[in-house]
Amino acid sequence: MAEKRSILIVGGGTAGWLTAAYLARFLALGRNPHLDIAVLESPEIGTIGVGEGAFPTIRATLQFLGIDEARFVRATTATFKQGIRFNDWLHAPHDGGRHSYLHPFEAPLYADGAGLVPYWLLQDEATRPPFAEAVTIQNRVAEGRRGPKRLGEEAFGGPLSYAYHFDAHRLGEVLAERAVELGVRHIADTFDAVALTADGQIDHVATRAHGRLTADLFVDCTGLRAGLIGGALGEPLHSVREHLFVDRAVACKVPYARPDAPLESVTIATAHEAGWTWDIGLAGARGIGTVYSSMHLSDDRASDILQAYVGRDVPIEPRILSFEPGYRARSWIGNCVAVGLAAGFLEPLESTGLVLIEAAVAMIAELFPHNGPIDGPSARYNRLMSGRFETIVNFLKLHYCLSQRPESFWRDHADPTSIPPALAELLAQWRYRPPNRFDFTLDLESFAFFNYQYILYGMRFRTELARGRDEYPLGEEAERLFARIRAFGEHAVADLPLHRALIDEFVRAART
């Protein structure tokens, strides 16, 4: 017979409400009289209010929660994200020329037993098409500002992989609404103190209007404040600043010139002298922000870079955010587990904030001890979460360390002493073969080998296969597949709706 268990989620941002809804659904809260789940959310302390891009894992998460896709798109002013276009990461723009590459979500085509990557590597560098254009149709679809699917196709599915861009506040609201439907109690109050037991566990949080709140498991979702795990339990943040330097962002919202302005279906990430600028097309406005390293750039210069990006004549109200890139090596201690920014944050690149929340919540749900010590899974959980943070550090670092830009931020990133040893080892091997699945341990990875391939070859990394050319005898077959991808791509661009039209259709469908 299960013991009574209570879970208090402290904090109601994306992390708090996603944790609440996921656990309620996974642990069948509505049918489980032994379980109580509540969210304590401060009406005074706001959420961070950024985090507008996701990774394709979000589709399975929303579907699992039982959220309707069209209603989600309408409620969060969402658009479809098919990847990230990186501008100027290899070189700064010069003589009117500019380097740009796409990291699409769709894996390279693998057909008839033939992987195309070696055959692309063996083609003439001077004349071959860019990697993403050669191996998937998604490049053409996204660059043609087409949606990844048609209305009426299965919810959360379609011919091409995708994620969303959304308004961060509204995402929180949608998740909160769903969590409450699933039986989660909402406590609107602020806690001012956390009391510990003699053996260092959390005894209660002391709130202003609801007195002392106790629970079997406290989930710290208080954002960068980390009021429980950091404040009360004193677990330090393990900084990764030696590898990743970005620690600030200045963000704003910019309206479209016209309500029917064309919509990008990718996040645009444009490098600058000491970081990069995100440009996210939501249905009603663009979310734009410049990310930078305070060691390499002043706040004033960053705001100026943002203003120049947006256009000198466009009024903006920039908001500066700062964070230490890092994570807590122990995010589950005793009866407290931290999720979201409280557990750690590396930087906005590749939307790993939400990815890490999804990973944490799925693990907590699977490992949740219905009986026995509540901290039973903590050691394993901490190993898995730390490992996941570390692999993401490697993946993010890959984006920076291959740059040939001359500014000190980029030179510092290319400095071999700043490259994590595990990544350096892989880079050494990838000089002679492309990344493959055996390079990674699945339970620790948020990204697959092909995500690494898109970054490596987008950044013109050289994998030397020519001496082993004889090992690749299916050249003609591969050429036929490359031609098929080109033809399918053109067909898909003609066939799929414009992204703006698709969003309008989704919004109309949600109204009916």
81 assigned to active site = yes
Burial class (CB in 10 A: 0-12, 13-18, 19+), 13: buried
Stretch that binds ligand FAD, among 23-31, 39-47, 85-93, 97-105 (CB under 6 A): 39-47
Stretch that binds ligand FAD, among 11-19, 115-123, 231-239, 325-333 (CB under 6 A): 11-19
CB of 392 to ligand FAD, least distance (A): 11
Of 45 and 367, nearer to ligand FAD (C-beta) is: 45
Q: Distances in Å between the alpha carbon of 346 and those of 60, 89, 207, 381, 490?
A: 23, 19, 31, 19, 38
- Rounded to whole angstroms, how far apart are CA atoms 312 and 306? 9
Catalytic residue among 81, 149, 253, 397: 81
229 lies in the binding site for ligand FAD (CB under 6 A): no
Of 196 and 422, nearer to ligand FAD (C-beta) is: 196
For ligand FAD, which residue of 5, 7, 9, 12 counts as binding (CB under 6 A)?
Answer: 12
16 lies in the binding site for ligand FAD (CB under 6 A): yes
Strands 202-207 and 191-196: antiparallel
DSSP letter (8 states) at residue 36? E
Q: Write each residue from 289 to 308 as x if it is in contact with ligand FAD (CB under 6 A), else as -, in one continuous string.
A: x-------------------
- Rounded to whole angstroms, how far apart are CA atoms 310 and 285? 12
- Rounded to whole angstroms, how far apart are CA atoms 284 and 260? 9
Q: Distances in Å between the alpha carbon of 353 and those of 212, 286, 430?
A: 31, 20, 27
Q: List residues bridging with 111 in a β-sheet.
A: 114
41 lies in the binding site for ligand FAD (CB under 6 A): yes
CB of 157 to ligand FAD, least distance (A): 22
Give the residue ranges of DSSP H helices in 323-474: 352-367, 378-401, 408-414, 421-430, 449-458
For ligand FAD, which residue of 38, 42, 75, 137 counts as binding (CB under 6 A)?
Answer: 42
With beta carbons less than 8 A apart as the criterion, state whether 274 and 293 touch: yes
- Side-chain-side CA neighbours of 376 within 13 Å: the count stands at 11
Spell out the residues 6+ positions from residue 96 whose beta carbon is closer than 8 angstroms to its own: none
- Rounded to whole angstroms, how far apart are CA atoms 89 and 363? 34
CA 229 to chain centre: 23
The tokens describing 27, both together, are: 């642990």
CB of 355 to ligand FAD, least distance (A): 6
225 lies in the binding site for ligand FAD (CB under 6 A): yes
326 lies in the binding site for ligand FAD (CB under 6 A): no
Spell out the residues 6+ positions from residue 253 whose beta carbon is closer than 8 angstroms to its own: 285, 286, 287, 288
- Rounded to whole angstroms, how far apart are CA atoms 266 and 509? 23
Kind plus residue range of the DSSP H or E element containing 503 = helix 499-511
Stretch that binds ligand FAD, among 27-35, 73-81, 121-129, 223-231 (CB under 6 A): 223-231
105 lies in the binding site for ligand FAD (CB under 6 A): no
For ligand FAD, which residue of 7, 21, 53, 288 counts as binding (CB under 6 A)?
Answer: 53
The alpha carbon dihedral of 145, 51, 102, 433 has a sign of negative
CB of 277 to ligand FAD, least distance (A): 12
Measure the N-to-C terminal CA separation of the chain; round to a whole number of Å.
45
Of 205 and 485, nearer to ligand FAD (C-beta) is: 205
Total of residues contacting ligand FAD (CB under 6 A)? 38
Of 57 and 418, nearer to ligand FAD (C-beta) is: 57
Contacts with ligand FAD in 183-202 (CB under 6 A)?
190-191
CB of 253 to ligand FAD, least distance (A): 13
With beta carbons less than 8 A apart as the criterion, state whether 454 and 131 touch: yes
For ligand FAD, which residue of 148, 326, 348, 420 counts as binding (CB under 6 A)?
Answer: 348
- Rounded to whole angstroms, how far apart are CA atoms 412 and 409? 5
264 lies in the binding site for ligand FAD (CB under 6 A): no
CB of 162 to ligand FAD, least distance (A): 15
Of 392 and 455, nearer to ligand FAD (C-beta) is: 392
CB of 151 to ligand FAD, least distance (A): 26
Stretch that binds ligand FAD, among 29-37, 48-56, 459-467, 475-483 (CB under 6 A): 48-56
Of 16 and 118, nearer to ligand FAD (C-beta) is: 16
Stretch that binds ligand FAD, among 1-9, 123-131, 351-359, 466-474 (CB under 6 A): 351-359
With beta carbons less than 8 A apart as the criterion, state whether 5 and 36 touch: yes
14 lies in the binding site for ligand FAD (CB under 6 A): yes
The alpha carbon dihedral of 215, 220, 225, 227 has a sign of positive
* Residues near ligand FAD, by CB under 6 A: 11-16, 40-42, 45, 47-48, 50-54, 168, 190-191, 221-223, 225, 227, 249, 289, 321, 323, 340-342, 345, 348, 351, 353-354, 357
Catalytic residues, by residue number, are: 81
